[in-house]
Amino acid sequence: MNKGPGGLEIKGFIETSFLDWDGKIVSTLYVAGCNFRCPFCHNAGLIERPHEYETIPLERIENYLLAHKDFIDGICLTGGEPCLHKGRGLFEFMKRVKDKGFEIKLDSNGTDPECLKTALDQKLADYFAMDIKGPLDERYDGLSGVKTDLAGIKESVKTIRESGVPHEFRTTVLPTLLGEEEIAAIAGYLAGAEKFVLQQFAPDHAWDEKLRSVKPYEKPELERLARVARTHVPNVLIRGV
């Protein structure tokens, strides 16, 4: 088994990405497993059947970074949910990457505020990107696919918003469950955040097969939702259209 120290399982490694961190060139690392089951997720295999994917040796990743230090700015840790690996070598790996002079963007679904606080306290994250699946009420579970601890999500929002670390919150705009009222509710909750990103829903390969025939919003509709959100968070972007 090619596991890293403590069992950090990286299952996907995009050596060079221009898309995963605005303005940066990064290597993107996908960890195994997630505690959500978002119906629109594209990584079902990585979450339900991680054993079917090779575990990338951490040495290979670190060697690649060092060999391309001239143009790689850092890494994007995504998944899956990276914080599920906090007891399995996540922070140790992040520290080694930081010690080599690279920056780190940490993606998270926000279910583990303590994980984010540790990354913050140890100065391991240079950018946080946290998913906000829907309004922070009874509607959340339909978008996360599980019974969600909203107190934990709220604590993560507070931690990131007050961190002083560059960050974004992002919502995949699933037309069947998210419209103007929901986007306004999310943005209202995020008031004071640095950036709020509306991500286009991509039906192909959605975990819930019923969603594969759902038509994404047209760009003008997303732009209208962005204008609604901007009444609460001035910096709203649309991604994926």
Q: Using the minimum distance from each CB to ligand SF4, give the nearer residue, 102 or 201.
A: 201
The token pair at 206 is 């959605």
Distance CA 46, CA 235 (A): 32
Segment 103-132, which members bind ligand SF4 (CB under 6 A)? 109, 131
Q: Using the minimum distance from each CB to ligand SF4, give the nearer residue, 36 or 189.
A: 36
Q: Using the minimum distance from each CB to ligand SF4, give the nearer residue, 72 or 190.
A: 190
- Answer yes or no: are the C-beta atoms of 204 and 241 closer than 8 Å: no
DSSP H helices, 24-135, are: 44-48, 58-67, 90-99, 113-121
Site string for ligand SF4, 4-43 (x = CB under 6 A): ------------------------------x-xxx--x-x
Cβ at position 146, least distance to ligand SF4 in Å: 9
Q: What is the DSSP string of 43-67?
A: -HHHHH-GGGSPPPPHHHHHHHHHH
Q: Using the minimum distance from each CB to ligand SF4, give the nearer residue, 41 or 233.
A: 41
Cβ at position 143, least distance to ligand SF4 in Å: 9
Cβ at position 31, least distance to ligand SF4 in Å: 9
- Answer yes or no: are the C-beta atoms of 196 and 233 closer than 8 Å: yes
- Answer yes or no: are the C-beta atoms of 102 and 129 closer than 8 Å: no
Query: Which amino acid, one-letter code, is at 211?
Result: L
Distance CA 182, CA 229 (A): 10
User: Please, which residues have CB within 8 angstroms of residue 198's CB and are 6 or more apart in sequence?
Assistant: 170, 171, 173, 183, 222, 225, 226, 229, 236, 237, 238, 239
Site string for ligand SF4, 81-100 (x = CB under 6 A): x-------------------
Segment 148-207, which members bind ligand SF4 (CB under 6 A)? none
- Specify the stretch interacting with ligand SF4 by CB under 6 A; choose among 77-85, 134-142, 193-201, 212-220: 77-85
- Answer yes or no: are the C-beta atoms of 67 and 20 closer than 8 Å: no
Contact between 50 and ligand SF4 (CB under 6 A)? no
Contact between 80 and ligand SF4 (CB under 6 A)? yes
Residues that bind ligand SF4 (CB under 6 A): 34, 36-38, 41, 43, 47, 79-81, 109, 131
